[in-house]
Structures are given as structure tokens and as C-alpha cells.
Amino acid sequence: MQRLTKEVAVKLDQEDPLQQFKQEFHLPENTYYMDGNSLGLLSKRSEQALLTSLQDWKQLGINGWTEGKEPWFYLSEKLGAKTAPLIGAKPAEVINTGSITTNLHQLLATFYKPEGKKTKIVADELNFPSDIYALKSQLELHGYEPSEHLVQVKSADGYTLSEDSIIDALNDEVALVLLPSVLYRSGQLLNIEKITEAAKDRGITVGFDLAHSIGALPHELHDWGVDFAVWCTYKYLNSGPGGVGGLFVHEKHLGRKPGLAGWFSSNKDKQFDMDHDLTPAESAGAFQMGTPHILSSAPLLGSLDIFQEAGIEQVRQKSLKQTRFMMNFIEEELAQLGFTIANPEEDQRRGGHVSLIHEEAASICKALKQAHVIPDFRSPNVIRLAPIAFYTSYTDLYEVMMILKDIVKHGKQKKFKNERDTIA
């Protein structure tokens, strides 16, 4: 087990094949940014892509839809095609649109088709609340009581899930299962392929929320046979606050009428026929609804260019190496200060962030911010630290770990209340 010392960190930075990408990002001055799994930083390419769309609007007005440097009418499809390699999808299976929750409502309206005794939805008790809100809403729209028809798989430790427990819940009363690819609080990476295979064997539609995995690790959604997936783009994909999300629909479902039809669900060649009977697009574009949010989509063009150059496999390898070094340091230096690690140790079960448990987590996060480290707190006692392969160096990690050790060793967190702020 290699220890993260200053010398080791400097050497690793010198050998890092992704080191040149750090200069591509606007980094907060004199700050160690460890919250890229909540909001990624702005890249210079994303900034330029947004300026290009603004310039198209400025110079062309409405003609920017078809004549701009980046024509808006086709932007969502272009972004979908550029995103597809990150999740192992075909270009036609992916579209940049909506948000996680709106896309989830769209796909649940399309794929949740209760029939006979197959009426239940399987989720988990650790998922992000908004996914559960959407599931409950859809059940109620169908006239079902969520307390009876939403099955939330229990966690044995409050941080992680057992794939076997999930599969055990997939009985003949289940119509659909929705799960996170990576659990937001603990960083556990679920075995998507194993769960999908089990669901398919039982005739159950399976979907995943990729919020905490897309841009951090590779996927093979098409080959695994996942029916649908949703994600945001403002975390690891660095598209900016409120950046437009995305969705995946397996090609076996393409051509299907969307559950919630809208203006941009249309086949593009027929969209301006103004026919009151929808002809859906034959791609994932059918699952769009309203007009694309161009200025919230454009930055993703620049960001995806960086991913294309770097390669998601290299991003994943650096991410695993960085989280491993952090975990080694924590076990050697911080365990005696009351810290335990919530995320799985094994590489194949770990996402892109490290989750630390401490009884004073909220106050420690406040002390970190005062020391110019930007962490993330998750109630009730989790500190999330996310090294981002493009702009977090190994030397950054060493400094962050030393600051964290100094804070707790000397009780600097004691001057802060151990409770979250309004926004955590």
C-alpha cells in the first residue's frame, strides 16, 4: 500500500497523462475544489462554446436555428451523439434534453405499464429523494398507493446496497426497477450488468440514474441491455449550473411513442408540417418535449470535446488511483481521529468520490471551507470529497488531506455548529 506523501504526489503529477487538462479549466483562486461531483468547474472550451451560441444569436437572430456555427435545431442530437461513447451507447439512443426529474417522468410515463399483478416498482431506500418523488407521483397517477406499490430495497448498513437483495426483490409483481448507478451518499457503484440481466430474465423493465457515474467511469448500456437511463450534466460532465440533462433509450425501444409527447418529440422532417397527430422521431429524440434550452446546452459541447481527447478509460484510471491514495491516507492518518470510509474499498464497486463518516462532519466541512477547501456534506454525517481527473492534481490531494488532518487533530471544527446550512 503506497502512502500519499508530498514526494509521491509530485512524482505522480509528473507522470500523469491527463495533467495538461488542468490548464483548460477556470480554477477558484487559492482554493482546493473537491466538489466536482456536485458542480463541475468551467472549462475554457465550454466558455467558448457558450459564447459561440451567444454570437449566433447576436448575429443571426432566429436564423441561428439552422444557419449558426452550431445550429440550434440539431444541437440536442449532436450532443447526444458526442455523449454516447461515455455510456456505451449508439448515437441514436442518446439525446441531450430536460433534467433528471423531467426525463425520468417522461420515461416512466413511457415504460411503466402496469398490467395484471405486475404493478410494482422496485427502487432503494438510499436513492436521491427526487427520484423517489417521481416514482411516487407516477404510481399515484396510475391510481396506486406508493406505500404498497413502491418497494424500496433496504440497506444493511445505511450506506451501501446488496445486489443480491435487489435481485431478490424482483418478483412476478414487479413491472419496473429504477436504481442509481452510483449511490450519491456512499459512492458505491452497483453492478449494472448483473442487475439488468436479472431484470431481463424476469421480464422487468430496468432503468438507471447515472448522475454520479457519467463522466467518471465507462458504461456499456447498449450491450448490457439497459432499457433506459437518465443523468444530469453539471457534475462530472462540467456543463454548468442547471446544465441540460440527458437520457438513453435502448434501440429496441426506438420508434415507440413517448408517454409525454411534445413539440420536439417530432420527426424533424415533419415537425413544421404543424400536423396535430405526432410523428415521433425514430431516435431517442422522440423523448424530448419542449424546445431545447440552447444556452444551458452549449457549454457541454466544449466539455465533451475534452472527454473525447482524454478518453473515459484514462479518466477512470486516474480517478481510481486518486481515490485509492486518499483512502490509504485516511486509513493511516485519520482513522484514529474518528474517520471511517463509507464507500467500498474494491475498485469495481467504487464510483468517483470518497465518502468519509465522522460524527462532526457538518462542522468539519465548515472548517474545510474556511481553509479554502470546497467539500460536500451529506446528512447526517458524510463528507464527500471528489478528485476530478481533469483538474485535481495529486499534490492537491496531498494538501487537502493534510488540511483535513490539521483541522480535526487541533479541533478547529469546534468553533462551528455541527449542523448543515440551508443548502448543503
Cα angle 279, 76, 189; round to 5: 110
**How many degrees, rounded to 5, is the angle at CA 259 between CA 177 and CA 96?**
80
4 vs 41: CA distance, rounded Å:
25
265 among annotated binding-site residues: no
β-strands 174-180, 354-357 pairing:
unpaired
**Residue linked to cell 448490457:** 224
Amino acid found at 63: N
Q: Is 131 annotated as a binding residue?
A: yes
124 is in an annotated binding site: no
From residue 226, alpha-carbon distances to 74, 120, 190, 209, 301 in Å are 26, 19, 13, 11, 25
Exposed / middle / buried, residue 66 (Cβ in 10 Å: 0-12, 13-18, 19+): exposed
Q: Is 129 annotated as a binding residue?
A: yes
101 is in an annotated binding site: yes
Q: Indicate the burial class of 156 (C-beta count within 10 angstroms; 0-12, 13-18, 19 or more).
A: exposed
* 263 annotated ligand binder: yes
CA distance 36 to 132: 24
Is 83 marked as binding a ligand?
no
Phi/psi of residue 63, each to 5°?
Answer: -70, -10
Query: 351 is written with which cell numbers?
Result: 464510483
CA distances from 124 to 44, 117, 263 (A): 38, 21, 34
Is residue 212 a known part of a binding site?
yes
* Closest to 354 in 3D by CA, of 329, 333, 379, 373: 329
Helices (H), 112-232: 129-141, 146-149, 163-168, 192-201, 221-224
Cell numbers representing residue 4 in the block: 500519499
Is 57 annotated among the ligand-binding residues? Answer: no
- Per DSSP bridges, beta strands 373-374 and 32-33 are parallel
Enumerate residues 6+ apart whose C-beta is below 8 A from 269. none
Alpha-carbon gap, residue 262 to 420, rounded angstroms: 40
Q: Is 374 annotated as belonging to a binding site? A: no
Binding residues: 100-101, 128-131, 209, 212, 234, 263, 291
Binding residues for pyridoxal 5'-phosphate: 100-101, 128-131, 209, 212, 234, 263, 291
